[in-house]
Structure 1
Amino acid sequence: MKVEVLGCSGGMGAGEYTTCVRINDQLLIDAGSGLGTLSQSEMLKIQQVYLTHAHLDHVCFLPLLLDNLFEQLHSPLQVCALPEVIAVLKTHLFNWSIWPDFTTLPNTQSPVLEFVPVDRAYAVVAGVKQVSPIKAHHVVPACGYRIESDEGKVFCFSGDTSFDPQVVDAYDQLGSIDCLMLECAFPDRLQHIADQSRHLTPHSLAGFIRSLKKPPGALWITHLKPAFRDEIQAQLTQCKLPVDLKFLSSGDTFIL
């Protein structure tokens, strides 16, 4: 399974792109500004987009992707998300005021966009056996995703979440995880901000990992706010977590 980190930043800046991960060329997790690094031909290969939640840094390039693909797709682009997330996108984004409603274009019989509520496991694209939602704890309805390859490799992405016993329990039910991509937005000195916005800090992330019955084989850190990147990295390194640790950069590619 090929995992390409098109964007992983918690903010913006030169070389910084917001969350978008591509799996095996055909599947996206979130549609942040990292999506804009793909060529037109690469965009045409995408069959499914799994959204963790509706915040702008995770969906901002989805409208532009649909605009690029208009009248070029043989079947609708499936956008998979929690029902609450789909409702927000329909009301506040694809509403003919902010952007056209692509579920009705070019017509209702053959639309560019198909919303798929995430309520079970899915498997559509080549090389991916199953995609399943994972519980998250954020300020808006949100989830993470467990992606299992045909070869049995398991990649999990937390989305935006905080340290919560129910979230830990959900991960404990997943079995072995080869790689966990976990957010960490703020340094420890801003724990109060992290608590209000329901993000992780190095201290709470360490608590999360140490609470798991079995740690993942590898831990990839994402969603660092650019202004705090060095501070967060130093604090997480000092935590000496029982797992291989990597700080992601936009453009990273891995084979699991």
Structure 2
Amino acid sequence: MKIEILGCSGGMGKGEFTTCIRIDERLLIDAGSGLGEISQTEMLAIKQIFLTHAHLDHICFLPLLLDNLFELLESPIEVLALPETVEVLRKHIFNWQVWPDFSELPDKYQPALSYHPLSRVQPVETGDLTVFPIPARHVVPTCGYRVVSAEGKVFCFSGDTTYDEDVLQAYNQLGLINILMLECAFPDRLNTVAGHSKHLTPKRLLHFLQGLDQPPENLLITHMKPAFRAEIINELNNLDLPSTLHFLSSGDTFIL
């Protein structure tokens, strides 16, 4: 399994792109501004996009991708997401006011976009990968994803989340995680803001990891707000974390 971090920032700026993960060239998790970092040919290879939730930093380049490709596609790009996320896309994005409805373009019989609402408990088989939604706790309905290769290697992405006992219990049922990509949006001094917006801080992240029966082998830190990146890194480096730590940048690649 090849995991490419096209975008991983909690904000914008030179070299900072929002969340988009490409797996084995053809599958995306989220469609933030990192999606704009690949070529048209690479875009055409994308078959499925799994969305964690409907916040703009995670979907902003999906409309532009479809506008780029709609006359070139041989089959629709499948967008897989929680039913609540699909409903937001239908009502508030692809509604002919904010953006054309690509579930009807070029025509309703051969559209560029097909929606696939996900069950929270039903895995999706795609090629030699199996994708499982996993719980997250955010201000809107959100899920993370567990991706398992044919060889049994496991990559998990938290999505946007805060510490939550139900989320922790769900992770403790997953077994070994080879790579966990976990958000940490704010430094500890902004704990109140993190609580209201339902994101993690270093101390909240540590609390989560300490509750895991089996810590991940590798921990990738994502979704750091650019203004606080150095502060968050410093705070995390001063904690006794039980996993190999990596602070993500756009362009990072991992092989499982």
- TM-score, normalised to structure 1's length? 0.98
The aligned counterpart of 1:231 is: 231
Cα offset, 1:75, TM superposition: 1.0
Cα offset, 1:175, TM superposition: 1.3
Q: Does 1:101 align with 2:101?
A: yes
**Mapped partners of 1:7, 1:223: distance in 2:** 9
**Mapped partners of 2:67, 2:108: distance in 1:** 16
Residue 86 of structure 1 aligns with an amino acid whose one-letter code is V
The aligned counterpart of 1:22 is: 22
Cα offset, 1:150, TM superposition: 1.3
The aligned counterpart of 2:140 is: 140
**Mapped partners of 1:118, 1:216: distance in 2:** 26
Cα offset, 1:136, TM superposition: 0.3
Q: Does 1:151 align with 2:157?
A: no
Q: Does 1:86 align with 2:86?
A: yes
**Mapped partners of 1:99, 1:171: distance in 2:** 37
**Identical amino acids, percent of aligned pairs:** 62
Runs of 4+ in 1 over 4 A off after TM superposition: none
The alignment yields a C-alpha RMSD, in angstroms, of: 0.7
Higher alpha-carbon deviation: 100-109 or 48-57: 100-109
Cα offset, 1:100, TM superposition: 0.5
**Mapped partners of 1:49, 1:85: distance in 2:** 13
Structure 2: state its 5+ residue gaps.
Answer: none
**Mapped partners of 2:105, 2:114: distance in 1:** 11
The aligned counterpart of 1:42 is: 42
Question: How many matched pairs?
Answer: 254
Q: Does 1:53 align with 2:53?
A: yes
**Mapped partners of 1:240, 1:22: distance in 2:** 30
Structure 1: state its 5+ residue gaps.
Answer: none
- TM-score, normalised to structure 2's length? 0.98
Cα offset, 1:93, TM superposition: 0.2
**Mapped partners of 1:182, 1:220: distance in 2:** 6
Secondary structure class of the residue paired with 1:137? coil
**Mapped partners of 2:92, 2:67: distance in 1:** 17
**Mapped partners of 1:134, 1:249: distance in 2:** 24
Q: Does 1:123 align with 2:125?
A: yes
